[in-house]
Amino acid sequence: MLHKIDKIEEINKLPNDKFLPKENIKTDLENNPFGHYLIDVENDKIIAYLYYSDIYERAEINQIEVKVFNRNCGKATKLLKKMIELVDKNITLEVKKDNIPAINLYKKFNFKEKAMRKGYYQGIDGILMEREQDR
């Protein structure tokens, strides 16, 4: 089941899980007034999450992660679909050049490469990608 968490008090309805500690969500939401979490919970365990920022005219993916045992069965696809539906605006993100699973995921959703940040991640290039809002 997908939970959308925008406020600190909503964190209480989530299970305790080392994969995504409640303390981390709390810190992110306290420090980022534009921040939102989409969290997929199955059998009282967090199996995947998407942390994004909805910043005026655009949105940005800060992180998307699926538990190793739950990968390759559409969990990230489900989260990203939901985010696109909720924000309804252009979405940007940055991804390491060698992160092929993530790049393929973003391309599947029509994200295009916009710029390259040389050596951004301790020597590995960062690719800035953008998806234009569906019209």
Ligand X SMILES: CC(C)(COP(=O)(O)OP(=O)(O)OC[C@H]1O[C@@H](n2cnc3c(N)ncnc32)[C@H](O)[C@@H]1OP(=O)(O)O)[C@@H](O)C(=O)NCCC(=O)NCCS
Q: Does 62 bind ligand X (CB under 6 A)?
A: no
Tell me if 75 sits within 8 A of 40, measured CB to CB: yes
- Region of 29-37, 39-47, 58-66, 114-122 interacting with ligand X (CB under 6 A): 58-66
Tell me if 41 sits within 8 A of 20, measured CB to CB: no
Partner residues linked to 113 by β-bridges: 129
Report residue 117 as tokens. Answer: 């940040």
Q: Which of 91, 95, 127, 129 binds ligand X (CB under 6 A)?
A: 95
CB of 12 to ligand X, least distance (A): 25
Q: Does 105 bind ligand X (CB under 6 A)?
A: yes
Tell me if 43 sits within 8 A of 75, measured CB to CB: no
Q: Which of 25, 29, 36, 75 binds ligand X (CB under 6 A)?
A: 75
Give CA–CA dist 56/58, Å, rounded: 6
Q: Which of 64, 83, 127, 129 binds ligand X (CB under 6 A)?
A: 64
Maximum distance among all Cα pairs of the chain, rounded to whole angstroms: 42
List contacts with ligand X (CB under 6 A): 64-66, 71-77, 95, 99-102, 104-105, 108
